[in-house]
Structure 1
Amino acid sequence: MTVDVRALDPADFDQWYGVVDRVFGAVPEDPELEEFWRTVIDPARCLAAYEGPAVVGTTQTFALPMSVPGGGFVATGAVSAVGVAATHRRRGILTSMMRSQLEALREEGVPLAVLTASEPGIYGRYGFGLATQQLSLEIDSSRVRVEVPEGAEDVTLRYASPAEAASVCEAVYGRAVGTRAGMFLRTPGWERHPLLDPVGMRDGGSPAQCVLASRGGEVVGYVRFHTKPMWDAAGPKGVVTLRDINADSPAVYGALWRFLCDIDLMSTVQAGNRPVDDPLLHLVSDVRRCGVRVRDGLYVRLVDVGALASRTYAAPVDVVFDVSDAFCGWNAGRWRLSGDGKGAVCSRTADPADVALSVRDLGAAFLGGVSLSSLAAAGRVRELRVGALTEAATAFATPLAPWLPHGF
């Protein structure tokens, strides 16, 4: 039978969701997680690959505005739940679904698509470029000190119920979300995401705990975490696992990290997703004992190259890009980008090209975390006018590394 990729029939949502579960391992999902995902997934934004009445492939997008350099937010299709039944691999189903999804986003007027990859080697062929990275840390808190900035002693810390503190924590997150590119503005329903606390995701640790940081009676930071008591013959060696942390100032941030590293009976602090330029790296007394590792984060795809006009630039730029895009042909050709710290315009042009690159590499550089010069050194970007590459690379750079704080 032939396979047809089309919009999901809402009556088939349970079947569609079951295929997603099977593709990702067939382990029954925690009821709390399943209820959340069923709440935020919009069946109208789901695509299915049908073989007769059977769903054999899945994908969907969340409509999540994403922060871009300059502090603005851009309509973004956050691609998720991508999978093909193991019985139907290598038949072009994934390619058909990705093409249909990108075409749907274009028709909707959404200029960006993003995703996190279960396997990094899959999505480059569809024009997604690695745009952010993330750090994981395993801090030996029995030997590492956190040297807090001036003003940290004025910060008051107190425990609070995660649920009861949710609104004040969201207010702190809301103040932080525009400071880095790559962060999502949480739309209705997504404020529940940081509160999810299924037992299976605690790795034997405690229910989620929350500590609020206040100054002058106002909540100016928070941290959510788990603790896992452990012992050996020498005594306690418990583990603190960070869920998320946000603060309005360096002093507050330092005070919260010092707290995490000073909890009684704990000797290790684990953090699974931090920005690559996390200030913590400059607060710890011994970075070698922090077990720092780097891995891939967010992949960005320009559905419309004109999205380059949605961000600002660190230096004046006037460059013509010759963009190749074999998957979404409407992007292929020459585009002139002119902009600075106040704004930008990007439109098609017949002028000679200054820099040649693929839409994948343009997506990688879009948020400012990947240098066009670095991509050129890898042979993936070509300078056609002397000086154009440095001009573009300088303009695309951002003061803070882009970062995706949570999955989707």
Structure 2
Amino acid sequence: MATDGATGRTTDGGGPELRVLRRDDWDKWYDNLLRAFGGVGESAEEREFWNSLTEFDRSLGAWDGDDCVGSAGAFRFRLTVPGGASVPAAGVTMVGVAATHRRRGVLTSMMRRQLDDVRSWGEPLAVLWASEPAIYGRFGYAVGAYHINAEIDTSQVRLSVPDGTDDVRLRYAAPADVLDACEAVYAQLVPRRPGMLARQPGWERLSLLDPESERDGASPLQCVVASRDGEVTGYARFRVRLGWGPTGHNGTVVLEDLDALDPATDAALWRFLFGIDLTTTLTARGRPVDEAWQYMVSDIRRCRPRLRDQLHVRLVDVGTALAARTYQAPVDVVLEVEDAFCPWNAGRWRLTGNAKGASCERTEDAAELVLGVRELGAAYLGGVSLAALAAAGRVREVREGALTEASLGFGSVVAPWTAHGF
């Protein structure tokens, strides 16, 4: 396979041509993506939004003549890692291959080119949300953050709220009118939790997209803003779907976003959602696995929490990525890393770090832990234990005690979570 540096085209001697996306090719490129995800059309507003965010110089298309048969993009993001640092990360997105061109190596060629590009851009991490999780493991990605979905029976479940909850003032507001205030709350939360993405210009509009086709019979988007002492401290965006049964109302509140700067605000917003008239169910999707409401409810079984994979993580530059985060317990360990798809990562690395900082350098010292780049990706944000991976046979301890030391160091007090998709 060869790449023409002048045109950005990649050829493999007869397969589809791989090239950087041109602006006048966007419609065909995006239509291929929609078709790969079932062919359901989007509103003009949604289409314009994604066109405006597309980073053409970081997007690839596979072309068979005039037909686009593959697509892949990589947004510029900054990702919070344990310790609070904001690290450059490629947000892999818009990946799709036409059904007519499956099993021809199109996806592999795009992933190969993309990871080479990410490395050349100096971004040590690549992250994605996977429509099919089984696909990306062979390219070195692993689940590094999970979330939970819940269907809460608010007719039976009660909340026990912390002191100060009654001091929080709530008011309805049009979502667009309070967008800046909500974004200010979000920005304050970004450094607090691994996996959070600093909002790049234009992405704030994502939360306001409200096509009727995605409401499933629910109301237009509603918003409630919370404040204390005159300062906005949180917000919730939601929809309401009314329903009636033999015994009366059985409506549903569909939570879209909820962010809060303190426990009292968080509790006030959840209490509000539990108490909306004519509803008996609160649907909450994509919430952090350690979110506080789970410990305020009277009956967790009636909340039906379900765990699901969220952010998939790929270390593109092992040394830079491991040195960018901190470690909650001191660690000094030699890692032998296996990485067939990005061989520049393979070999031995000495990781030394603590809560103040870290270094990770090449070494000739004997290996103390042996693991693949996928295992590093799983453990990187602190939500997956290296000890658990070792129990699954995916990490091998060479020096006694190295596994315990590294597992404690890699952990995070706060579970990783990503607030918005891409």
Aligned counterparts of 2:185 and 2:301: Cα–Cα separation in 1: 31
Give unpaired runs (5+ residues) of structure 2.
Answer: 1-13
Is 1:63 matched with 2:76?
A: yes
TM-score (norm 2): 0.95
Is 1:5 matched with 2:18?
A: yes
- 1:122 alignment counterpart: 135
Q: 1:153 aligns with which of 154, 158, 166?
A: 166
Please state how far the C-alpha of 1:54 moved relative to its aligned partner.
2.5
Aligned counterparts of 1:288 and 1:310: Cα–Cα separation in 2: 39
Is 1:230 matched with 2:243?
A: yes
Please state how far the C-alpha of 1:344 moved relative to its aligned partner.
0.6
Aligned counterparts of 1:401 and 1:390: Cα–Cα separation in 2: 19
Contact 1:10 1:44 in 2 (8 A): no
How many residues are paired up?
408
Aligned counterparts of 1:156 and 1:14: Cα–Cα separation in 2: 46
Aligned counterparts of 1:202 and 1:175: Cα–Cα separation in 2: 29
CA RMSD of aligned residues (A): 0.9
- 1:323 alignment counterpart: 337
Deviation digits for residues 91-124 of structure 1 (CA, Å, limit 9, x no counterpart): 1111110010000000010110001111111000
Aligned counterparts of 1:190 and 1:11: Cα–Cα separation in 2: 23
- 1:102 alignment counterpart: 115
Contact 1:23 1:84 in 2 (8 A): yes
Q: 1:389 aligns with which of 382, 403, 414?
A: 403
- 1:363 alignment counterpart: 377
Is 1:284 matched with 2:297?
A: yes
- 1:86 alignment counterpart: 99
Aligned counterparts of 1:31 and 1:12: Cα–Cα separation in 2: 17
SS of equivalent residue, structure 1 residue 64:
strand
Please state how far the C-alpha of 1:56 moved relative to its aligned partner.
1.1
Is 1:182 matched with 2:195?
A: yes
- Once the two structures are superposed, the pairs formed by residues 106-255 of structure 1 within 5 Å of their partners are 106-255=119-268
Is 1:266 matched with 2:279?
A: yes
Aligned counterparts of 2:403 and 2:19: Cα–Cα separation in 1: 41
Q: Please identify, of 29-38 and 366-375, the stretch whose mean Cα deviation from structure 2 is larger.
A: 29-38
- 1:346 alignment counterpart: 360
Aligned AA (1:382): R
Please state how far the C-alpha of 1:8 moved relative to its aligned partner.
2.0
Aligned counterparts of 1:173 and 1:252: Cα–Cα separation in 2: 14
SS of equivalent residue, structure 1 residue 178:
helix
TM-score (norm 1): 0.99
Aligned counterparts of 1:354 and 1:61: Cα–Cα separation in 2: 34
Deviation digits for residues 1-27 of structure 1 (CA, Å, limit 9, x no counterpart): 522222223332221111111111111
Identical aligned pairs, as a percentage? 56
Aligned AA (2:349): W
Is 1:398 matched with 2:412?
A: yes
Aligned counterparts of 1:29 and 1:23: Cα–Cα separation in 2: 14
SS of equivalent residue, structure 1 residue 177:
helix
Aligned counterparts of 1:56 and 1:214: Cα–Cα separation in 2: 50
Aligned AA (1:227): V
SS of equivalent residue, structure 1 residue 370:
coil
- 1:303 alignment counterpart: 316
Aligned counterparts of 1:280 and 1:323: Cα–Cα separation in 2: 39
Aligned counterparts of 1:153 and 1:37: Cα–Cα separation in 2: 41
